[in-house]
Amino acid sequence: METINIVSIGCAAQLLQAEPTKIRKAAQEIGVEPAYRISMVDHYSEDQLEQIRSQLRAGTTPQQRRGA
């Protein structure tokens, strides 16, 4: 049996330094659905988090990153 590492949307927000709504939006933009939904909480696999991280980085301008 293969073990799958998953991370809740709350933990993902801390790891990616992004609000959960922004994580969900980035995931939708690239067609990533949560690997699991446990008690109404989205959970993403490590591979999915990397894809979302890339989308978050690509989807922001330098001004947005600086908070301008």
Q: Of all helices (H) and strands (E), which one includes residue 61?
A: none
Structural domain boundaries enclosing 60: 6-66
Tell me which of 45 and 1 has the higher pLDDT. Answer: 45
Quick check: is 13 in a domain?
yes
**pLDDT reading at 60 higher than 90:** no
pLDDT in tens, 12-58: 999 999 999 999 999 999 999 999 999 999 999 999 999 999 999 99
For CA atoms 22, 52, 68, 66, the dihedral sign is positive
- How many folded domains does the chain comprise? 1
1 assigned to some structural domain: no
List the end-to-end C-alpha distance of the chain, in Å, as a whole number: 48
Q: How far is residue 12's CA from residue 45's CA, in Å, rounded to a whole number?
A: 10
Above 70 in pLDDT, residue 65?
no
d(CA 24, CA 30): 10
Output the pLDDT for position 14: 97
Give the pLDDT band (50/70/90) at residue 3.
Answer: confident
Could you tell me which of 55, 42, 57 has the C-alpha nearest to residue 12?
Answer: 42
Q: What's 41's domain CATH number? A: 1.10.1660
Check pLDDT > 90 for residue 64: no
